[in-house]
Amino acid sequence: MTETAQNTPSTVELAAAYQPGEVEQRRYEQWVEGGHFSADAASDKPPFTIVIPPPNVTGSLHIGHALDHTIQDSIVRRKRMQGYETLWLPGMDHAGIATQNVVERKLAAEGLSRHDLGREAFVKKVWEWKAESGGTILGQMRRLGDSVDWSRERFTMDDGLSRAVQTIFKRLYDDGLIYRAERIINWCPRCLTALSDIEVEHSDDEGELVSIRYGSAREPDQQLSGEGEDAIVVATTRVETMLGDTAVAVHPDDERYQHLIGTEVELPFTGRMIPIVADEHVDPAFGTGAVKVTPAHDPNDFEIGQRHSLPSLTIMDERGVVTAHGPFEGLDRFEARPAIVAALREQGRIVAEKRPYVHAVGHCSRCKTTVEPRLSLQWFVNTGPLAKAAGDAVRDGRVRIEPVELAKRYFAWVDNMHDWCISRQLWWGHRIPVWYGPAGEVVCVGPDEQPPSGDGWRQDEDVLDTWFSSALWPFSTLGWPEPTADLAKFYPTNVLVTGYDILFFWVARMMMFGLYAMDGKQPFDVVALHGMVRDQYGKKMSKSFGNVVDPLDWMDRFGADATRFALARGSNPGSDVAVSEEWVQGSRNFCNKLWNATRFALLNGATVEGALPTELSAVDRWILSRLQHTITEVDEYFDGFEFGKACDALFHFAWDDVCDWYVELAKPVLAGGGEAAERTRRVLGHVLDQLLRLLNPVIPFVTDELWSALTRQATVVSQAWPTVEPRLVDDAAEAELEALQRVVTEVRRFRADQGLKPGQRVAATLAGLESVGISGHEDLIFSLVRLEHAADGFAATATLTVVGGVTVALDTRGSIDVAAERARLTKDRVAAEKEAAQCRAKLGNEAFTAKAPAEVVAKIEQRLAAAESDLARIDAALAALPAA
């Protein structure tokens, strides 16, 4: 973009280039100090509330956070500009397992364990760590531009939220919705605690499927057959758990085992006789159709055990070490597995071994240790009535899930929810408010009650699952259980923005607790779900793949706005977001484009003062009309949570309509001076003012800097959001400028094809402009495409027919080295013809098209279409060359 020198000086000057590092921190501090993000419960404005999904106190901003926060911030900033009393409430989660692990590692480096300190001293150490090192992510949120109300920052372990946790535990307990029982849970032998489902990461691991003969030992090639046989073959990937088997199960309709149902079989190594039971849970197609039943070490086996009143034998301790008496006692589970297989092989009990056998294995998300299903005495929430209420709230329309198709997945979860294990064997977290007496008494204590005292009374050692406190987040952060002004003003919250990957885990829990605690009032009106961030090839980001992106690195190199815009532009409801560094670079270029356009406007006296002129040129009317359409599109996309489409609409209006066309169309008008120039200065100022407001929610830093320079006001963050002015919609002007653009584009393409230098002027004549209603724009067209009016001696060496019969005759004599240009085009044609021939040959080969993947064939078809288009363009260019 070139600058037009003007005599009208600007009162504000911008640097020659945009430097994010010189703008971002300064702008953010001004916003916070100015109180622009603070919410007032006493305001008479309509409320709009978002509570931030609380990041872990141990966390650092990763690319998923950057996407999630960009979307939330864009929503909040727009609502603030639309006149809402907007609260975006920040805070952090205490992250029980992760935080305890961090502090325990620090102690280990000093040669200590938490047990050396004791519980009280250890918890004090965690608080000290939190004060010194926790919450790094909060500063990173500032760098990204989060417009949160920092005066309301909360932490799941602060006094108010701890009171809320104790209150709801007591209510649930008194209502019979919290109970203690032995159940199968996810257990981490490294962290020594139960895990929630979301704390278990599943991966396809290579293992071994071993088929074992229970009962009488026989030679491996003998088969189970005949009436009265006392042996049965089972298949398992966890051989070590056989030591805790209390039955073998078969499907009741499996004819192979009808004669064995109700009989007993000897369990190897133990001498125990175990029954063969019939259960419909068994899949006859898996392995041998007979499965070993270990009720204390498998959730499905536990259910079978309950149905058939089988005993549950725990044969491993909390660290995964075998405790069953016998030759394998004292071995780690993974040491015991091959040892048992070897012993079984020696006895002739191994019927088959399948290796490798790939199957899903759960791992602790914190330490990556293989999770062990384990029968354990734990605290549970009876989710039945709570989950039903959570499902009903979506079904009856109180809560809307965006995109709507993900509601089916939500129902599949809440309609089949198991009771929730809420106890964790940690020291950091909300301790379960239950006391046990010397005579077996159990007392649950509320926040305003004194716990029982005296000899023999002790509090439960466990703490609550971190998700228990975060499930209260939408209302506990507003002061619940107290009837605060914040709670009255800002609950229910309006939108929850989060990834679809935690729809089941966090969203469902907030729904259950919010509806229960708030008398049926939903915690949020809309759940807006976005996808996961993937690399440019759609591949999941993983350290092992080497494709993990650090958004802080992108912000350092390209700026926060470029990072935000690249993420938002790739985001649409429920869909994964593919990004690459090249796209962030493109977003940085977009910010630079805005900077240059605004700098041009300021240098040429653009203004926002005074009303828009009533008498305007077609060009001015066109850009104002395009602005109205853009406002309409952006509003529709924002309201539909289609942020990618909103960003696309803004990008093309800013880059194409404003920068590439309107600024160029305005240059000759501004250079001409007079009233026309004054009108254009006002229109240019208005368009940029509105455009920067529209872009501010997504790219707040650069737009705020530019808007302040343009308007000489402090900040745009609290200014009014643009609204459509119907009087400025002008279809005739848009049609007129569309015709002009097509003429200009065709002539520019011809010049490029002929190798004409960009600044080289060529004599020409235009005819037929009146047929498309652009006869008044002849001088503008000549200026835009570097043509000059024909003079004496003009001879047309090339004639173009463009839109609606408009013809352009050009005299290219002396402008083109015809021989060299013909040689160049001929060389290009040979290459294009070769490409087209290769593609036609592949597509004509039935052996290839029948075997090749559909996407490969599609790419070759696209290459052929591009080659044929090149041939048509080159032939037209050759035909337009003057005779040698």
Query: Coil, helix or strand for 194?
Result: strand
Give the pairing type, strands 577-578 and 273-278.
unpaired
As a whole number of angstroms, the distance between CA 701 and CA 692 comes to 11
What is the residue whose two structure tokens read 């912000």? 555
What letter would DSSP give residue 460?
Answer: -
The amino acid occupying position 203 is S
Number of H helices, E strands in the chain: 28, 29
As a whole number of angstroms, the distance between CA 400 and CA 529 comes to 11
317-344 residues labelled b (16+ CB within 10 A) or e (exposed): eeebebebeeebeebebeebbeebbebb
What sign does the CA torsion over 592, 595, 601, 605 have?
Answer: negative
- Angle (nearest 5°) at CA 413 between 409 and 417: 175
What is the helix (H) or strand (E) element at residue 810, kind and residue range?
strand 807-811
What sign does the CA torsion over 191, 195, 201, 207 have?
Answer: positive
As a whole number of angstroms, the distance between CA 64 and CA 668 comes to 47
Contact 239, 353 (CB under 8 A): no
Contact 187, 421 (CB under 8 A): no
Distance of CA 372 to the CA centre of its chain: 30
Q: Where are the alpha helices (DSSP H) in 640-673?
A: 643-652, 663-672
Is 593 labelled a binding residue? no
Give the contacts of 678 (CB within 8 A, at least 6 positions apart).
Answer: none
What CA–CA distances, in Å, run from 519 to 390, 397, 469? 13, 17, 18
Q: Cα-flanking dihedrals φ and ψ of residue 420, to 5°?
A: -100, 120
What is the helix (H) or strand (E) element at residue 784, kind and residue range?
helix 778-784
Query: Coil, helix or strand for 317?
Result: coil
Q: Cα-flanking dihedrals φ and ψ of residue 139, to 5°?
A: -65, -35
Give the contacts of 489 (CB within 8 A, at least 6 positions apart).
Answer: 41, 43, 47, 85
As a whole number of angstroms, the distance between CA 184 and CA 420 comes to 11
- Annotated binding-site residues read 543
- Annotated binding-site residues for ATP read 543
